[in-house]
Amino acid sequence: MSIPAIELMTSLRSGHSTSPRLTWYGPDSERVELSGRVLDNWVAKTGNLLQDELDAEPEMRLRLDLPVHWKSMIWALAAWQLGMETVLDGGEADLLVTDNPGTGAGTYDAVIAVALPALAMRWPGELPAGVIDYAAEVRSHGDIFMAHSDPSGSGFAVTDRRGTRHRHADLITGFSAPHDEGVRLLVTAGDGLEAALANCLGAWHGGGSVVLAHPEVQLTDQLLAAERIQGT
């Protein structure tokens, strides 16, 4: 049974390697643009961190406690490529990925702190004992991901905010939001992480690309025209 996330990463890596697939507009005029190749590179490095440093494997659960952000997309794709389940409803999980690392001590096998600024090379300040600094660790991991264990499409990929669990094989047909082929899609952070993940998956599955925008970003006509936004 196939894993749509693996097929998606193959498509981004091969068919859209140099064109923008994910563009982020954040606070303080922050703009990050990831081509298919660069997006795949980040996902591979994050998957290797999960697999090699945290012994992550298929069917383990990862709580994704992050706001809508380009790094949230990276983490979800890395977990899905491994055959893990991302937990969005705050339920029990093996690992916690968060931008607020003071809240998960003792509850998870490991806590990973994610600094959100694009140029962050490490977490700003002291981290609780045992918490892993994503920004400091991820760059040392390999650019190519090869799973140690083959994931199964019958395993769960995501638990949504209502507690509904979606299997890997149904990630596109049951969880993602459908969009036109080749769409340049605006996804606003105010709609929440679950909606952002579903919309990004739907756009990428159809060969499209995504512009993610933080709530503080003013979506001017000039910005929308410059990014060639086609749908919302």
The reply to whether 139 falls in a domain is yes
Q: What is the CATH number of the domain that holds 71?
A: 3.40.50.12780
Please indicate, yes or no, if residue 160 is contained in any of the structural domains: yes
- 39 found inside a domain: yes
Flag whether 60 is in a domain.
yes
Query: Is residue 232 included in any domain, yes or no?
Result: no
* Rounded CA separation 171/174 (Å): 6
Residue 108 near residue 60, CB atoms below 8 Å: no
Q: Which residues of the chain have pLDDT under 70?
A: 1-2, 104-105, 231-232
194: alpha, beta or left, given left = phi > 0 and alpha = psi -120 to 50?
A: alpha
Domain count across the chain: 1
DSSP lists the bridge partners of residue 91 as: none
Closest CA to 39 of 63, 15, 57, 62: 15
- Residue 231 inside a domain? The answer is no
Residue 173 in domain: yes
How many angstroms separate the CA atoms of 3 and 117, rounded?
31
* pLDDT of res. 105: 63
Residue 48 lies in a domain: yes
Domain that holds residue 206: 4-226
Q: What does the alpha-carbon distance between residue 133 and residue 124 come to, in Å, rounded to a whole number?
A: 10
